[in-house]
Structure 1
Amino acid sequence: MADDETDVLEFSLGDGRYCIDIAHVDEIVDANEDVTAIPNSERHVVGVVDLRGQTTTVVDPRVKLGEAGETEGSRIVVLSEHDATGLLVDDVHEVEAIAEADLDESGASETTRGVVRRDDRFVVWVDPDALV
C-alpha cells in the first residue's frame, strides 16, 4: 500500500454507499441481538446490546447523515476509538485502499471527509467521531 492510501471499510445504508477508515473499526458483528431502547436518549441512539458481556451502545448513522428511511440493520460496525459504540448499518461490503488523490473534498461536511468515485457509484467517506 502506498503512503497516500488508506484502507476503508465500505458499507451501505439503504441505496447509499459509505466508507470509514478501517483503523476506526474494532469488529463487525451480525445485528441478531435484540436492541434495548434507552428512554429519553438522543435521536441517533438506537439502544444497547450485549456483545460478549459488554454493553455496547448502537447508533443509527442515518440520523447524523440526514438520510431518510429506516435502517434494516443487519450488521453492527463496532468502533475502536469510542468505548463500546457501534454503527447499525444495512450491509458491510469490502475493505479497499483509497488513494488520497481520489478523495473529492468539495463534498466534505461536518460528518463526512468527502466523496470517492468508484467505477459505477460514489462512496461517501464518513467521519466516525461525528456520527456518535
Structure 2
Amino acid sequence: MASGTQNAAPTATDGQVLEFSLGEETYCVSIDYVTEIVDTGEVTTVPNSPPHVRGVMDLRGRTTSIVDPKVVFGIDGDGAERRIIVFDPAIVDDQGAAGWLVDEVYQVVHVDGSDVDDSPSRDKDAIHGVVKRDDGFVIWVDPKAVHSG
C-alpha cells in the first residue's frame, strides 16, 4: 500500500485502484490514497457526530474516524461490513485520520483511461467516473472530495 504525503491528486484517467463493495455495487479508490486495510474492530460511537460518521477506532495509537460511505453515497441496504479502508491523513486536511467501513475489499487493479466514462452523477466532485468492465462497471470515487466537502 502507498503511504506518505500525496502532492497531486490522482486523476480518473488511469492508475492503480483498490476495488471494494458497498451493498450490491463495486466501487474503487485510487490506491495512492490508501495506507492500509484492517478488519472491522470495535467502533466507539461519538455523540452528536454527523450521520455518516459511525464512530472512532484506535488504529496503531491514532484515533481514526470511521465513516460509513453508504450514508455518504445514499446506498440502501445492509452489508457484511468486514473491512476498513484507512486513508492517508493528508486527504482529510485538519480532521485527522479516517477510514471507510466497507463490506469487502477485492483487489488492486490497473485501470486504463480509455475504460473510464464520466460520472452520470450530479455529485461529480465525489465520483471520478465509471470504469467499464466486461462483467459490468465499477464506480470510481474520490475520498478527498468526500472528506473536504
Provide TM-score, normalisation by structure 2: 0.80
Moved more, 88-97 or 74-83: 74-83
Does residue 55 of structure 2 align to residue 47 of structure 1?
A: yes
Matched pairs, number: 128
Larger fraction in strand? 1
- 1:60 touches 1:71 (CA, 8 Å); kept in 2? no
Q: Distance in 2 between matches of 1:130 and 1:53?
A: 26
Paired AA for residue 102 in structure 1: D
Instruction: Give the one of 99, 102, 108 matched to 2:115.
Output: 102
- 1:71 touches 1:88 (CA, 8 Å); kept in 2? no
Does residue 120 of structure 2 align to residue 112 of structure 1?
A: no
Correspondence for 1:70: 78
Stretches of 4+ aligned residues off by more than 4 angstroms: none
Is there any run of 5+ residues in structure 2 with no aligned partner, and where? 1-12
Does residue 13 of structure 2 align to residue 15 of structure 1?
A: no
Q: Distance in 1 between matches of 2:145 and 2:50?
A: 14
Task: Give the Å deviation of 1:59.
Answer: 0.0
| Residues 16-36 of structure 1 deviation map (CA, whole Å, 9 limit, x = unaligned) | 0000000000110011x2111
Correspondence for 1:29: 38
| Residues 31-68 of structure 1 deviation map (CA, whole Å, 9 limit, x = unaligned) | 1x211111110010000011122111000111111111
Correspondence for 1:131: 146
Is there any run of 5+ residues in structure 1 with no aligned partner, and where? none
Aligned-residue RMSD, C-alpha: 1.4
DSSP-derived class of the 2:43 partner: coil
